[in-house]
Amino acid sequence: MFVWKNKNNHYQRNYRPFIIPSSFYNIVHVYRFTTIDAISTLINHFESCYRYSIDTDSDRFTNELSLVQVHSIPQHLPSFIVLFELNHLPSSNTLLFEKINLLFRFLFRLRQYYFFLGIDKHRITICYSYEFIWMTLVGVID
């Protein structure tokens, strides 16, 4: 641990922090109070974006999948960082849920490049319980 602290101090003294201006990206939380307009904006963005990274996080108490993070890598800025809060999604019989489902279809359509971070087969299959159709379109990439 002492070596790690020394390395960290060395980096802080000798290198400037890596900063991405906030004008280069937009952060969108997707949950039950997200507007349909916000989802429509994301759908429009991902219609023309074919590269993005995906990461997931689990609930620290239940260890169940609770967050899917998608960071678009578009040809032209700004990019989007989309945080899908799975435990706070709207009811599956709402228009908002259908729009979110459509967004997932765009994200996981064929001919995409996926950069999965920290996703294993167990965590990815948990998404079936959220009734998203997108899981039938994508396989786990090792």
For 63-81, write each residue's pLDDT tens digit.
877 888 999 989 888 999 9
Q: Are 39 and 96 in contact (CB under 8 A)?
A: yes
Return the half-sphere exposure (C-beta side, CA atoms, 13 A cut-off) of residue 105: 10
Instruction: Supply the pLDDT for residue 115.
Output: 53
Q: CA angle, corner 116, sides to 103 and 86, nearest 5?
A: 45
Higher-confidence position of 34 and 120: 34
d(Cα 136, Cα 70) in Å, to the nearest integer? Answer: 18
Instruction: Supply the pLDDT for residue 3.
Output: 67
CA 22 to chain centre: 18
Confidence of residue 136 (pLDDT cuts 50, 70, 90): very low
Q: Which residue, 34, 136, 138, 22, is CA-closest to 85?
A: 34
Indicate the average pLDDT of the chain. Answer: 78
Instruction: Supply the pLDDT for residue 133.
Output: 43
Q: Are 66 and 58 in contact (CB under 8 A)?
A: yes
Q: Where are the domains of the chain?
A: 24-136
